[in-house]
Amino acid sequence: MDVNGTVAEGFEPVREAFADNFAARGERGAAVAVYRGGRRVVDLWAGTRDVNGADGGADGTADGSDGAARWERGTAQVVRSATKGVAAAVLLMLHQRGQLDLDAPVGAYWP
């Protein structure tokens, strides 16, 4: 599997885990970007994006060799259920700042 993109020094294990997601778990196409301190330290993509015209990597290739469209750096993707973690992080940040009491009833904040 060809993993495209870059990782900053010290973030090589992210590339390895990303590649393993294809090899061990049958991922067909994906991308990941990680920012730390306002700097992009991981920017990776691999696999295929076309699951209609070809097998989308179901034969284990997921590299476009079967005619499926390859995942590119700018490939758009559908994101589902991704806001739960962000919402939890925001609530915990508010709690840490003393702006939210985790023991208060929801009605104290939401009419």
Based on the fold, state whether residues 90 and 44 are members of the same structural domain. no
Q: Whole domain around residue 13: which residue ranges?
A: 3-78
Based on the fold, state whether residues 55 and 95 are members of the same structural domain. no
User: Can you give the pLDDT at residue 79?
Assistant: 79
Based on the fold, state whether residues 111 and 74 are members of the same structural domain. no
Based on the fold, state whether residues 21 and 67 are members of the same structural domain. yes
**Region for 46 from its dihedrals, namely left if φ exceeds 0, alpha if ψ lies in -120 to 50, beta otherwise:** beta
Based on the fold, state whether residues 85 and 54 are members of the same structural domain. no
Q: From CA 65, how far away is CA 33, in angstroms rounded?
A: 25
Based on the fold, state whether residues 22 and 34 are members of the same structural domain. yes
User: Can you give the pLDDT at residue 52?
Assistant: 58
How many structural domains does the chain have? 2
In this structure, which long-range contacts are made by residues 96-103, counting pairs with CB atoms below 8 Å and at least 24 apart in sequence?
Answer: none
User: Can you give the pLDDT at residue 99?
Assistant: 96
User: What is the block-wise mean pLDDT of the chain (111 residues), using blocks of 10 residues?
Assistant: 94 96 90 96 93 50 66 87 92 97 94 80
User: Can you give the pLDDT at residue 87?
Assistant: 93
Based on the fold, state whether residues 104 and 58 are members of the same structural domain. no
